[in-house]
């Protein structure tokens, strides 16, 4: 860290899976910076677990419900025209692409209400990794991580619609070497770069664009190249930008 930046940084530990921890973090921010006028410009929801995990409940609790906890707590502290960036993954669209046409339409629904999304997630939490019941929900093989990120993208749409005074979008940082992805390379006995993993600095490209750039409105999903991408299929960096809803 550059020594001149030290005074601009404030560390605050948060467990997004804990209502109490999130509330304590919110209270700490308001105690230090007040609540009027709104003290925050933006919020980046980057906490994530569970790549390769079959523990749907734990993965959803952090990757999906954790984001909602943070938004519920901190949106009142974000200034008008502020930004929220929900860090999703290409695993989300890849997951949706394997669902039934009806379920794909659900994951693209710009008018989704929380009651419908919550009801779906409750049903999904009852499924195991190889459960035949997945077909009842129009899902392919259950992938907890992909499911959580697909739900996160849909929540982003909902949250943007309910908070028109903010700019709220989601993105994939790309295949980045982190503690989340590195075990895959270790398991295969190869260097992370051999699997196509990039250094963390590359993962900041879409996040910084959505925080400080000029995205195309609110409630959209962006690829690792900071270009709009579809919710129901993979778009590779450099491919034509998605123009649909």
Which pair of structure tokens corresponds to residue 72? 């519920």
According to the per-residue pLDDT averaged within each range, which of 3-7, 48-52, 69-73 is highest? 69-73
Give the global pTM. 0.93
Query: pLDDT tens for residues 129-180?
Result: 555 678 889 998 889 999 999 999 999 999 999 999 999 999 999 988 888 8
pLDDT tens string 88-117: 999 999 999 999 999 999 999 999 999 999
**15 within a domain of the structure (yes/no):** no
d(CA 229, CA 225): 10
Task: Report the sign of the C-alpha dihedral through residues 142, 231, 178, 68, in that order.
Answer: negative
Contacts of 181 (CB under 8 A, 6+ apart): 51, 175, 192, 197
Cα(177)–Cα(111) distance, rounded to whole angstroms? 35
Answer whether residue 9 is part of any domain. Answer: no
On whether residue 134 sits in a domain, the answer given is yes
pLDDT confidence tier of residue 127, bands split at 50, 70 and 90: confident
Mean pLDDT of the chain: 93
User: Does the structure show a pLDDT above 90 at 62?
Assistant: yes
Residue 63 lies in a domain: yes
Q: Is residue 59 part of a domain?
A: yes
Poorest-confidence range of 21-30, 109-118, 173-182, 222-231? 173-182
Residue 33 domain-assigned (yes or no): no
| Structural domain containing residue 113 | 42-222
Please report, for the domain that includes residue 188, its CATH number.
3.40.50.720
Q: What is the mean pLDDT of residues 71-88?
A: 98
Query: Percent helix, strand and coil across the chain, each rounded to 5?
Result: 45, 10, 40
**pLDDT at position 75 over 90:** yes
Using DSSP's 3-state secondary structure scheme, residue 124 falls into helix
Residue 101 belongs to some domain of the structure: yes
Query: Backbone phi, then psi, for 229, in 5-degree steps?
Result: -135, 155
The answer to whether residue 128 scores a pLDDT higher than 70 is: no
Contact 222, 216 (CB under 8 A): no
Please report, rounded to a whole number, the percentage of residues in the chain having pLDDT higher than 70: 98
* Contact criterion met (CB below 8 Å) for 228 and 220: yes
Residue 243 lies in a domain: no
Q: How many structural domains comprise the chain?
A: 1
Averaged pLDDT for residues 176-197: 88
Q: What are phi and psi of 135, to 5 degrees?
A: -60, -30
């Amino acid at each position: 860290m550059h020594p001149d930046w030290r005074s601009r940084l404030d560390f605050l530990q948060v467990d997004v899976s804990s209502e109490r921890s999130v509330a304590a973090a919110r209270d700490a921010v308001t105690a230090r910076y007040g609540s009027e006028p709104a003290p925050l410009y933006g919020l980046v929801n980057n906490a994530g677990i569970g790549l390769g995990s079959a523990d749907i409940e734990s993965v959803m609790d952090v990757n999906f419900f954790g984001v909602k906890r943070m938004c519920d707590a901190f949106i009142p502290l974000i200034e008008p025209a502020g930004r929220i960036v929900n860090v999703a993954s290409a695993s989300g669209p890849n997951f949706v692409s394997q669902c039934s046409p009806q379920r794909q339409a659900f994951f693209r629904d710009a008018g989704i209400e929380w009651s419908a999304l919550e009801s779906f997630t409750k049903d999904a939490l009852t499924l195991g990794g190889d459960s035949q019941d997945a077909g009842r929900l129009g899902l392919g093989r259950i992938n907890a991580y992909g499911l959580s990120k697909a739900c996160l993208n849909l929540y982003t749409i909902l949250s943007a619609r309910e908070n028109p005074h903010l700019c709220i979008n989601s993105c994939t940082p790309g295949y980045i070497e982190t503690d989340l992805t590195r075990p895959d390379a270790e398991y295969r006995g190869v260097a992370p770069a051999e699997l196509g993993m990039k250094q963390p600095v590359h993962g900041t490209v879409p996040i910084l664009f959505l925080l400080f750039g000029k995205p195309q409105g609110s409630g959209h999903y962006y690829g690792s190249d900071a270009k709009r991408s579809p919710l129901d299929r993979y778009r590779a960096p450099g491919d034509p930008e998605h123009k649909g809803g």
